[in-house]
């Protein structure tokens, strides 16, 4: 399971946290799906233990399941290619398995406003994701950075139909009614924290929530609109 809400890019870091870090941690998310039998899912929560890599240079950044290259790299404007994993693992009796896939895209940033557009070229959903958000980092201390982030992700019909829709065949073979996906979205807020414990140890922890619109919530596989999320990652500099 990839808890995408917790692996989004938060690239503004202190100089001490640049370079390559490797480690791992745990992603946690309130379960909002019905009947999911994939690993890490139970009645109430989704928990995934993951290896984690973080790298940053002047132009390139890689964190978790996200990466980007900034052709401009200044405080006013950024532009370049990016990729991120989207979708989530879903397995239920009588329903075709769904899985997360990497989706390439492009991004631009104007001051604090970030625009990302991704396209599934792996053939999983053939869908698109548009992500628009504002992130405003500040530093209470020299070793602690807080990055609140608020945004919206918008999904096209192909994406919603694949990950949340139920085909006629699946409706016949499962307990779910037929559902044709339409455009959908989720609003989200995440409070990210980066704590430099030493020159070689970086802790990253976050908590927040996701709020799905009716395009997703009306799916017979979804029973909750407001979904709390959390993450803790411990990294060691290489």
Mind listing the pLDDT tens digit for each residue in 37-48? 776 666 678 888
Measured from the Cβ of residue 117, the count of other Cβ atoms closer than 10 Å reads 17
- H-type alpha helices, the chain: 157-164, 168-173, 214-217
Measure the CA–CA gap between 144 and 137, rounded to whole angstroms: 10
DSSP state of 69: E
Read off φ and ψ for residue 120, nearest 5 degrees: -75, 110
Instruction: Express as a percent the part of the chain with pLDDT over 70.
Output: 90
Q: Which domains does the chain have, with CATH numbers?
A: 4-237 (2.40.230)
> Tens digit of pLDDT for each residue in 12-61?
444 455 689 999 999 999 989 988 877 666 667 888 888 999 999 999 99
The verdict on pTM exceeding 0.85 is: yes
**For residue 7, pLDDT beyond 70:** no
Write out the two tokens for 118: 């991704």
Q: What is the pLDDT of residues 120-158, one digit of tens each?
A: 999 999 999 999 999 999 999 999 999 999 999 999 999
């Amino acid at each position: 399971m990839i808890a995408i809400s917790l692996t989004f890019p938060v690239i503004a870091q202190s100089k001490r946290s640049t370079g390559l870090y490797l480690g791992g941690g745990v992603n946690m998310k309130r379960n909002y799906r019905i009947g999911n039998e994939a690993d890490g899912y139970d009645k109430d929560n989704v928990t995934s233990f993951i290896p984690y890599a973080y790298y940053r240079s002047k132009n390139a950044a890689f964190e978790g399941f996200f990466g980007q290259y900034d052709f401009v790299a200044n405080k006013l404007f950024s532009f370049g290619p990016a990729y991120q994993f989207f979708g989530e693992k879903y397995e239920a009796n009588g329903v075709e398995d769904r899985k997360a896939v990497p989706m390439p895209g492009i991004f631009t940033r104007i001051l604090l406003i970030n625009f990302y557009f991704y396209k599934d070229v792996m053939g999983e959903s053939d869908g698109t994701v548009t992500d628009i958000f504002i992130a405003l980092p500040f530093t209470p201390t020299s070793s602690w950075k807080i990055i609140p982030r608020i945004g919206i992700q918008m999904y096209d019909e192909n994406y919603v139909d694949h990950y949340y829709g139920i085909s006629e065949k699946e409706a016949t073979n499962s307990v779910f009614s037929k559902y044709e996906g339409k455009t959908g979205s989720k609003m989200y807020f995440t409070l990210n924290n980066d704590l430099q414990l030493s020159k070689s140890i970086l802790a990253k922890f976050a908590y927040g929530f996701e709020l799905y619109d009716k395009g997703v919530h009306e799916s017979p596989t979804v029973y909750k609109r407001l979904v709390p999320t959390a993450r803790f990652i411990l990294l060691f500099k290489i």
